[in-house]
Amino acid sequence: MSYPVTRLRRLRKSAVIRNMVRETEVNRDDLIMPYFVCPGENVCNPIKSMPGNSQLSIDQLVKEVQDLYATTGIDKILLFGIPESKDEHGHVACHLDAIVPKAIRALKKAIPQVLIVADVCNCEYTTHGHCGTIVDGDVDNDSTLHTLAAQSVTLAKAGADIIAPSDMMDGRVGAIRNALDESGFQNTPIMAYSAKYASAFYGPFRDAAESAPKFGDRSTYQMDPANGDEALREVEQDIIEGADMVMVKPALSYMDIISRVKSTFNMPVVAYNVSGEFSMVKAAAANGWVDEERMIKEILTSLKRAGSDVIITYHAKEFVLSELKKGNRV
């Protein structure tokens, strides 16, 4: 019986060899940990649909991020806000005393080493839960741009390191870039949610951010999950308008899009491993159906292998702690 000269199993025979030839590794520098900040003091409201995550008041958020940095070395976070009150347009988010700007200032004072990505959208701040001003039953694109630009400048003034618009309005990257530049923030990068799909995977997030729409859905401005070529057009437009990084959201069902974006544009690509993807793993693990640690590592590795340079994930802290506990490089 003859055998091939090349046997690929030779490079799998031991952990040392497998580690030596491993093509893709996830490390802490790749990861961004999201947080939800809310009004009050000493508030920690567990999010039932997202085990291990909570709505945190600013004082508790500072403590949590200090612990994140001290125990894992993760130095990048993404902030979402739950305001005390809402309005029809999201104007409440445009003031320097709004919840997220206040949180940014507190974090920068306590932990200046940590990079803060500030989400820019209106769904948490509008009474109707949509991502902009409603005209004739739908979000009006161009009037919403003014709110997004004003919110972005406020966040930059508060100390946000990166502005991340997630609204999916046409032209919002250009409007935000112009507003930032005119306000003296020419060096503040924009991480654009460029290919954000109208997905069923956002459910737990909407519980966490209290941002579910009061009527209809977001399919007139977020992308149709069936479309791939359109995603490249969205990404290209954001790049033309000045995006410094582009994002694909959700991640797991859209790894083909991540790969296409990376190979087409060869610029920093962010994958958002969203709440529904996180919660599915947690639910399966709670039932004893999966090996949670292995599954988390496999998911994050696959996202990086697909072409992601950065991964936003609620698994960030537990992943790094798990790897450190095992003595692995991370």
pLDDT in tens, 65-78: 999 999 999 999 99
Residue 131 to residue 134: CA distance in whole angstroms? 9
pLDDT digits (tens, 9 = 90+) for 269-293: 999 999 999 999 999 999 999 999 9
Inform me whether the pLDDT recorded for 12 exceeds 80.
Answer: yes
Inform me whether the pLDDT recorded for 6 exceeds 90.
Answer: no
Output the pTM of the full model.
Answer: 0.95
Residue 228 to residue 96: CA distance in whole angstroms? 38
* pLDDT range class, residue 1, cuts 50, 70, 90: low
Residues forming beta bridges with residue 45, ordered by sequence position: 55
pLDDT digits (tens, 9 = 90+) for 106-116: 999 999 999 99
Residues 78, 33: contact at Cβ < 8 Å? yes
Tell me how far apart the 2 most distant CA atoms of the chain are, in Å: 77
As a whole number of Å, the end-to-end CA separation of the chain is 44
pLDDT digits (tens, 9 = 90+) for 180-233: 999 999 999 999 999 999 999 998 988 887 778 877 788 899 999 999 999 999
Residues forming beta bridges with residue 76, ordered by sequence position: 115
Q: Active-site residues: which are they?
A: 196, 249
Inform me whether the pLDDT recorded for 2 exceeds 80.
Answer: no
Please report the pLDDT score of residue 216 as a whole number: 76
Strand 245-249 versus strand 115-120 pairing type: unpaired
Residue 87 to residue 168: CA distance in whole angstroms? 20
pLDDT digits (tens, 9 = 90+) for 114-140: 999 999 998 889 998 888 888 998 999
Contacts of 56 (CB under 8 A, 6+ apart): 35, 36, 37, 38, 43, 44, 45, 64
pLDDT digits (tens, 9 = 90+) for 156-183: 999 999 999 999 999 999 999 999 999 9
Inform me whether the pLDDT recorded for 13 exceeds 80.
Answer: yes
Residue 180 to residue 189: CA distance in whole angstroms? 10
Please report the pLDDT score of residue 5 as a whole number: 85
